[in-house]
Every structure is written in structure tokens, then in C-alpha cells.
Structure 1
Amino acid sequence: MSLIRSSLVVGLGSVASRILGFARDVLFAQALGAGPVADAFLAAFRLPNLVRRIVAEGGLNPALVPALSRLEPHEAADVAGDVLGAFGLALLALTGLVEIGAGLLALLLAPGLHGDGETLALVALYTRLSFPVVLCVTLASIGGAILNLRGRFTATALAPLAVNGGLILALVVLEFGFSHALAQKAAWLAAASSLAGLSQLIIVAAALLQGGSGLVLLRRPRWSPLLKRLLVAGLPVLAAGGAVQIFFLAATQIASFWPSGVSWLYYAERVMQLPLGLMAGLSSGLLLPELARRHWAGDRQALVSAQNRALEVALLLTLPASAALLILARPISAVLFERGAFESSDAEGTALVLMTLSLGLPFATVAKVLSQTLFACGSLRAALAAAGFGLAVTVTGSLLLAWPLGPAGIALGLSLGCLGHAGAVILGLQRFGLWAPDRQIQARLLRIAAAVLAMSSGLLGAGRILPQVQAPALAALCLCGIALYALAAWMTGAVTRDDWAALTKKS
């Protein structure tokens, strides 16, 4: 399969999942609003959703792909079966502990609610109902990594749609089929998320076992040095691969001290995650296996060149997205979420948070792409150190900026954390002699910046003409912005015919 076809499969799956996620969150806002029940549900939903996003974006791939890629197919099938069995048992035990200790976990997830026993009890209830999704999506992610390694991308790209699709179905049924109090609606939604995760696991399992493909041998796990390394590395890999998601978890804990802070941060993050999640899925699903192959072939120059080209693509997509979110934050928040229980003041608060989050989007993407090189080379310690530094900057910046600026200050601290994370990853690459931006990427970055400036000028001008932007006008603005950016990118040379020819080459 050519690189462009593989990219389209993974990319379309990621985009479809994000679009369904948007629809889900629009319905969340309509059904739950941004009050105490919404804060309780979203605080509880944050942890399983964090794990789901990390593993859906290939968070375990850095540990699995390099290890399995060095084995013969039959050996890889044996090890894959051991990994699935061992992780399954470990996750079952973890789920049991969460069900027992949900009350304490609720206090850790939302410390700002410690004085509100009723809301904190709801956090514990929703945590118990939604946490089983972690078991399902993690095992599905391991299966997806095995499929991706063998060049089978369709099932892993489409399976995550089951989670958002299932939640949307539950929301529609609850909103239009039954009449429940807010707390009851949230409880049903938490339970529905676990059932939707089970459907995702079933889809991936069917693809793994289709026609006796021999991709995995299910059996009682056999302890081996390789399995031990994978289990020991599992948590650090998730932490390093899902650094930005962990930054958001820490920020949510701080935001719980502000009324509606958890909800505003959640809804703004969901908008930001559309471009970021797309790049994360492409990086871990396509870039990591390619970098791992070049690393084990000993071709350092080709590895650095692939890294630079991937960074060009990432910036080509995320720099205009960052500028557009900054400019259109208010109409986006109003059009997507301002209905039902979600009031105008909530839309305004969400817009301010989105504006400050958009500043960190390019840095989050740069760190995500460049981290794949560290993972491919087995430099987990450097990736983990970079994630730890970014988390420290996020917590410090959010605490310092929250008191004068409220939730928007927390979001600004998050953006600073993304900047610190990207800088730390680059320093890690320099240590290994793997950071060498060539003239091509420098020239491309200048052309991209010029195209983004042209697009931003057009959006600002249109915003003055249309001060009250409704859904049709927002859609028109987005389409015109995309068209203007595409034209400017072509005119400035940020995108050329040679790029298309390079993408369609066999991988």
C-alpha cells in the first residue's frame, strides 16, 4: 500500500472519529450544560477518556512496534498473544481497584469539589460506570498496533468510531426517548461509554482473528524477558506518548476550583483535539513504523530526513489550524455548544479558553511528531523526561496564571507546557545527534508562515463584515479559510507538485 493510501485510511478514520466526537460533545453540552452535574461527569470521564485518547493515538505503539518489528512473524504472533493476555489480566485487576477506590479517585480527579459531597459522590459513581472502557480500548489498541505493523490499517482506523458512535446513540435516546434528571442522564452515559468500548474491542479482535491470519496466538501468557520489558515499559510509554493528555488531566484538577472550569476546559480541548488528534494518529500509526525500520537498518540520515519531512507536514496542517481557532474561537464556541443547558456565558468562557489553548497547538504537534524518533530509537527515558518537564511547566504556569486569569490562565499554562515539552524533546534529539533541520524545512516553514498570514488576514476581514456569525456563516468562513490557505500555500510554494509525487511513492 502506498504511503498516501495508508495516510488516507488512517487520516480519514481519525477525522471521522473527531467529527463524531464533536457531535458527541455538542450533545453533551445540550444535555448536561456546564453546571455541577456536567463538571462531575466530565471530571470522571476525563481519566478513561484520557486513556482512550492516548491508546487510540497509538500510545502503546512505541513499546510494541520496535519490539515486534525485530521478530519473525511466528515469534511476533506468540509474543503478541502473551502481551494481550498479560495486559488483560493487569487491566482487570486495575479496574477492580478503581471500582473499590472510586471515592478516593474522585477526590484526586476533582480536588476543588472536596467541599461539595454530593457532586463528589457523583464523580465517584460516574467513574465506576465509565472506567471499564479503559480495559477494552487498551486491548483494542494493542491489537491495532499488531495490525498496523503488518500493514492492515482499516480496522484500527474505523474501530474507534464505535465509541463515539455508541455515545451519540445513547445521547439521542436519552434526550429524545426518555425524560431523566441530569444526574441520571450522566449515569446512563457513563455506562454507555463502557459498552461502546467493548464494541471497539470486538471489531479489532475480529480483524486479528479473521481467516486464521496468524497475527496473534491467544494463549496463557508465558513470562519472557521481552514480555517483562514490554510490561515494565507500558506505563512510561503511555505517559510519554500521551504527554499532552496528562497535561490536560493536571489542568482539569486545577480547573475544578473554578465554577464551570472543568466544563469550559473540556469543551475547548475537544475543538483543539481535532487537528492534534489527526497528527497524533498519523505519527504513531504511520511515522513510527517507518522510523523504526530506518533505525534498525542503520540509516541515520534517512531517519532524520523522514523526521524533517514529517515535521513539515505537521506544521503545514497545524499552523493554519492554530491561527483559525484563535480568530474564530467565539463563533465556534457559540455555534457548537450554545444551546439547551449550555448558556451564552459558558460559550464566552469556553471561547477564552480555546483562544489560549490554540497558542499551544503547534508546539504540541511538534512534540508529538519528534517524539516518534525517540521512540523508534528506543530512547524512552529521554521522551519521558521531556514529558515530565512539560508537565512541570504546565502545573507551575497554570497555578501562577489561574488566579489573575481564571480558566483562561490555566489554558495558557497548558500552552506553555506544550512549548516546554517540544523544547525538551528537541534537546533530547540533539543529545543523540538526531536534530538536524535542513534548508528545505527552514524554507518551507517561511512559506507556510506567509500562507497562514494571508489566511488570517482574510478571516479577520471577513469577521469584521460578519460580526454575528451563525452556523451557515461559520461553515462558509471555515471553507473560505481552507480555500484561501490552500491557494496561498500553492502560490508561496509551501505545497508543490513534488510533494504529491513523494507522497504517492511506495513506502
Structure 2
Amino acid sequence: MLTSALGALRRRIGNVHTDHRRIARGAVIVSLFVFLGKGTGAFKEMAVAYRYGIGETVDAYQLALTLVSWLPLTLIGELSILLVPLFVGLRDKKEELTQFLAELEGLCMLLGVGLMALLLVSWPLVAHFTASNLSEHTRTMCLHLLMGLAPVGILSFTVCITAARLQARERHITTLLESVPALVLLCFILALPHPDSLLPLMLGTSLGVAMQALLLRIIARNVDGQTARPRLSFRSPHWGKILHSVSMLMVGGVIISMITPVDQYFLAHVGNGAIATYGYAFRVLTLFTGMGALAISRAILPILAEMLAAKDATRARDTALKWSFVMLVLGAVGAAIAYGLAPWIVQLLFQRGAFTADDAEAVTLVFRTGLLQLPFTFGGFVLIQLFVSEARYRALTFIAVVSFLVKAGGNMLLAPLYGAHGVMLATGLMSVAAFVCYIICLKQPGAVAPQGGSEE
């Protein structure tokens, strides 16, 4: 009986379409790399909690890191999902790829320097809007950290481009290398143990991102043979499609990116320690979202791009919808397990040194609230890849507006009542609303554009 059942299961697995096998294999590999990478990040967070606890230094560091990475990550988030389908289409066009990469690297380097300079020049205005409720000492530390973390904003673009090159070739080592900044920061915190010094945070974060960028560039060059020396010109024929697509996506991307500084604003008005509490809980959540949502999105995007390049939109939609509901179920199961293990996870990661039992209880409450978003984030990430591949930018913009309104409204209502717990609850409600919108929009016919094209 058992042998017959196993035989039937083996035959069903053998009959699974090769696309699903590739997606599953890629997702498993990325999940493993995410686990290893986020594990390194967890050790880093343990070291930060042990050395600094929940206080002004961590508030200043997390606010500075948010400000430095906000605009670059907004652009990167939109650019990376456009670059992967484009690089898939240019696999056999080496000269076109060489020219476009060189010009893209040059533009992004110039853009990164400009954004960081603008942030530092406008700091008094930024501080007024984002940190007015924090102490003067915290704001001063934040300014010093902004100067030390400026390389992060510049190098983020290089990391994005080289990661997209590897993802287009279905090489998922880029996910593992995301642990490099955390590993370097961990080493600096342990090597420079002064609890009042900002130097470990500045040097560890900036040098870690620099090392990640260097390793990615070396690996990408070995995979696709491209050196990608930066060049300031716009001669590539692909600029028109990419710039139009980025401009369309940026509308929704900027709206969504505003959520992070809005959260920081509400948390800062809660008082000292709220930003740190939320930050610790959020970083534990990223371990789970990375192993699910990040893994499936990176595994499925190149394959959806291949289907759409072959003009097989029906198969692409069917594949995406199936995997979206699979990930929704997996996310629900993962959230239930994580909810039960939450106190043990937080205590294991953080409760030592300056991080007390009361701090652990506060972080656990926020973390448990954040688990509401897990299944909907898992399922939604799959559909995002499909919508971008189909160039359904109007639908994405509409969903971004709805998400922001739900999030902002939730913050206004819940943050004054529940503090960091309320801000995280608003994030969960936003994820539910966004997933519902994806399903509704998916039923509507959408334009399927060429790689890097625009919505009709």
C-alpha cells in the first residue's frame, strides 16, 4: 500500500511541468541562501542589541540608514525588476549588453552621488520633518551617521545592476552575498566594543556594502563576460524603453517608498525607543519574508520573462496565479509557527547585555503583530513579478495608492493608541488590501508589452 502510494507520488512529481520545477528549484536555492544570509544578519542584530540595546544610538542609526537608502532603494526596486527581463532578452546580444551596461553604470553612479549630496545639504529640513520629536543628541548622531553611511546610497545602484545580471542567468548567489554587509558590520561591532562609538556602525555598514558590490561585480563578470566600465552617454537603443518604463513605475514606487519615512515619522512622535523596537521586530520579520516572498519572486521572474518573450501570456498568468496561492498557504503556515515561537526567537536573538527582558517583550508584541502581513506578502510578491512583466503599470500605481492610503490611515488611527505595535498592525492591513487589489486587477485584461516596453 505504502509502496503504491509512493510510486503514485513519484509519477505525479515526474509529470510536473518543467517551468514549475525550475521555479521550485530556484525558490529552494534562494530560500537556503536567504536563511544563511539572514542568519548572519540575525547575529549582527544580536551584537547591536547587546552593545547598544534600545536607545538613542540605535534610533539614530536606523533613522540615518533609512534616510540614506530611501531614494536609492526606491529607484532600485523599480529598476531591478525591469532589468531582469531586459537582460534575459539580451543574453545572445553581447555588444548591445556591453554598451547598455556601461552607460547604466555611469548614470547610476552619478545619480547616487547627487542624491547623497542633496540629502546632506538638506539635513536641517529633513531633521525638522523626520526627527523633530527626538532629542538634540539623537539628531546630532544621526547627522554624523548620514555622512559615514553615504557610500551605502551610492553603491546600492551597482549592487542592483550586478544582481540583476546574475538573476537573469538564474544564478542566485547574489542572495547569499546580501549577508556580506551584515557580516562585516558584525566584525566591526565585536572588534570595536565601545558602546558610545558610532564608528563601528558607520565603517561596518559602508565597508560591508562596498565588499558586497566588489564580489558581485567579479562573479557577474565571470558569468556573462561583461566588464561594465562606467560611461556617461545615452547611445544604447534600450534607453527609451527603460526610461519610459521606469518613469511609469516610479509613480507607484515613490508612493510605496513613502511608507518607510512615514513610519519613521509616526514612530519618532511616539518617543525614544519606538524606532528601535520597531526596527528589531522588522528585521526578524525580514528573515521570514525573505525566505518566502523574496525567494519565489527572484526564482519566478526570469521564467515569467521567458514565457512573455515567447508570447505565451496565458501560461505566464496561470503559472503566476498557481504559485501565488501556494505561497499564500505557505505564508499562513509560517506565520502560525512563528507566532508560537516568537518569544523564544526574540529572546534568543536579542536578550543579552543592554537588551533587557522588558525590551524583548516589547519587540515580541510588535513582531507577532507583523506576522499578519506574511501570507499576503508571500502571495503578492508573485503577482508583482507578473504585473511588471506584463507592463501593467497603471494597475500597479492604483494598488500603490490604495496601499499607501490604508497604511497612512492605519498609522494615524493606531500609532497614537498602540505605538510601534499600531504602526506594525497598519502594515498588516496594508498587505491584506494590496493582495485583494492584485487579485481584482488580475481578472481584468492587461496589455502584455515587450521586454522593457510600456503599457498600452
TM-score range, shorter chain: 0.7 to 0.9
TM-aligned CA deviation for residue 328 of structure 1: 2.9
Counterpart check, 1:368 vs 2:368: no
Counterpart check, 1:431 vs 2:449: no
Query: Structure 2 CA distance, aligned partners of 1:312 and 1:88?
Result: 39
Other-structure match for 2:3: none
Q: What runs of 5+ residues in structure 2 fail to find an aligned partner?
A: 1-17, 448-456
TM-aligned CA deviation for residue 391 of structure 1: 1.7
TM-aligned CA deviation for residue 216 of structure 1: 4.5
Q: Which moved more, 1:16-25 or 1:362-371?
A: 362-371
Give 2:376's aligned amino acid. Answer: F
Other-structure match for 2:268: 256
Other-structure match for 1:333: 346
Residue 206 and residue 287 in structure 1: after superposition, are their counterparts in 2 closer, same or farther (change >3 A)?
same
The 5 Å alignment of 1:173-252 reads 173-175=191-193, 180-182=194-196, 184=197, 186-210=198-222, 213-214=225-226, 216=228, 218-224=230-236, 226-231=238-243, 233-234=245-246, 237=249, 247-252=259-264
Residue 53 and residue 15 in structure 1: after superposition, are their counterparts in 2 closer, same or farther (change >3 A)?
farther
Give 1:255's aligned amino acid. Answer: L
Q: Which moved more, 1:207-216 or 1:137-146?
A: 207-216
Query: Structure 1 CA distance, aligned partners of 2:75 and 2:332?
Result: 25
Residue 131 and residue 215 in structure 1: after superposition, are their counterparts in 2 closer, same or farther (change >3 A)?
closer
Give 2:179's aligned amino acid. Answer: L
Counterpart check, 1:158 vs 2:170: no
TM-aligned CA deviation for residue 433 of structure 1: 6.0
Q: 2:306 aligns with which of 293, 296, 319?
A: 293
Q: Secondary structure at the match of 2:48?
A: helix
Other-structure match for 1:98: 119
Other-structure match for 1:392: 405
Residue 132 and residue 214 in structure 1: after superposition, are their counterparts in 2 closer, same or farther (change >3 A)?
closer
Query: Structure 2 CA distance, aligned partners of 1:209 and 1:366?
Result: 33
Give 1:204's aligned amino acid. Answer: L
Query: Structure 2 CA distance, aligned partners of 1:244 and 1:342?
Result: 32
Question: Is the CA contact (8 Å cut-off) linking 2:331 and 2:378 kept in structure 1?
Answer: yes
Other-structure match for 1:315: 328
Question: Is the CA contact (8 Å cut-off) linking 1:73 and 1:215 kept in structure 2?
Answer: no
Residue 173 and residue 76 in structure 1: after superposition, are their counterparts in 2 closer, same or farther (change >3 A)?
same
Q: Secondary structure at the match of 1:190?
A: helix
Other-structure match for 1:491: none
How big is each residue's C-alpha offset from its partner over 1:13-54, in whole Å with a ceiling of 9 and x where there is no partner? 222111111111111111111112221122112244667877
How big is each residue's C-alpha offset from its partner over 1:406-462, in whole Å with a ceiling of 9 and x where there is no partner? 22111111111111222222233222369xxxxxxxxxxxxxxxxxxxxxxxxxxxx
Query: Structure 1 CA distance, aligned partners of 2:406 and 2:25?
Result: 39
TM-aligned CA deviation for residue 228 of structure 1: 4.6
Question: Is the CA contact (8 Å cut-off) linking 2:185 and 2:203 kept in structure 1?
Answer: no
Query: Structure 1 CA distance, aligned partners of 2:384 and 2:356?
Result: 39
Residue 295 and residue 210 in structure 1: after superposition, are their counterparts in 2 closer, same or farther (change >3 A)?
closer
Other-structure match for 2:61: 41
How big is each residue's C-alpha offset from its partner over 1:196-219, in whole Å with a ceiling of 9 and x where there is no partner? 111111111112333881474654
Query: Structure 2 CA distance, aligned partners of 1:16 and 1:254?
Result: 33
TM-aligned CA deviation for residue 266 of structure 1: 0.6
Counterpart check, 1:64 vs 2:98: no
Residue 171 and residue 211 in structure 1: after superposition, are their counterparts in 2 closer, same or farther (change >3 A)?
same
Q: Secondary structure at the match of 1:60?
A: helix
Question: Is the CA contact (8 Å cut-off) linking 1:136 and 1:197 kept in structure 2?
Answer: yes
Q: Secondary structure at the match of 1:151?
A: coil
Query: Structure 1 CA distance, aligned partners of 2:136 and 2:384?
Result: 41
TM-aligned CA deviation for residue 380 of structure 1: 2.4
Counterpart check, 1:32 vs 2:44: no
TM-aligned CA deviation for residue 324 of structure 1: 2.2
How big is each residue's C-alpha offset from its partner over 1:255-279, in whole Å with a ceiling of 9 and x where there is no partner? 1112311011111111111121223
Question: Is the CA contact (8 Å cut-off) linking 2:108 and 2:158 kept in structure 1?
Answer: yes
TM-aligned CA deviation for residue 61 of structure 1: 2.6
TM-aligned CA deviation for residue 284 of structure 1: 3.6
The 5 Å alignment of 1:338-353 reads 338-353=351-366
Task: Tell me which of the two structures has the higher relative contact order, counting C-alpha pairs closer than 8 angstroms and 6 or more residues apart.
Answer: 2
How big is each residue's C-alpha offset from its partner over 1:78-119, in whole Å with a ceiling of 9 and x where there is no partner? 212221221111112112222333343344443432xx2221
The 5 Å alignment of 1:484-495 reads none
Other-structure match for 2:283: 270
Q: Which moved more, 1:375-384 or 1:279-288?
A: 279-288
Other-structure match for 1:456: none
- Could you say what the CA RMSD is over the residues aligned between the two structures, in angstroms? 2.8
Other-structure match for 1:139: 158
Q: Secondary structure at the match of 1:222?
A: coil
Query: Structure 1 CA distance, aligned partners of 2:365 and 2:403?
Result: 22
Give 1:86's aligned amino acid. Answer: L
Taking only the aligned residue pairs, the percentage that are identical comes to 24
Question: Is the CA contact (8 Å cut-off) linking 1:44 and 1:109 kept in structure 2?
Answer: no
TM value normalised by structure 1? 0.76
Query: Structure 2 CA distance, aligned partners of 1:151 and 1:214?
Result: 16
Give 2:334's aligned amino acid. Answer: A
Question: Is the CA contact (8 Å cut-off) linking 1:45 and 1:190 kept in structure 2?
Answer: no
TM-aligned CA deviation for residue 69 of structure 1: 3.2
Q: 2:107 aligns with which of 86, 99, 103?
A: 86
Other-structure match for 2:390: 377
Q: Secondary structure at the match of 2:170?
A: coil
Give 2:311's aligned amino acid. Answer: G
TM value normalised by structure 2? 0.84
Query: Structure 2 CA distance, aligned partners of 1:209 and 1:51?
Result: 27
Q: Secondary structure at the match of 2:332?
A: helix
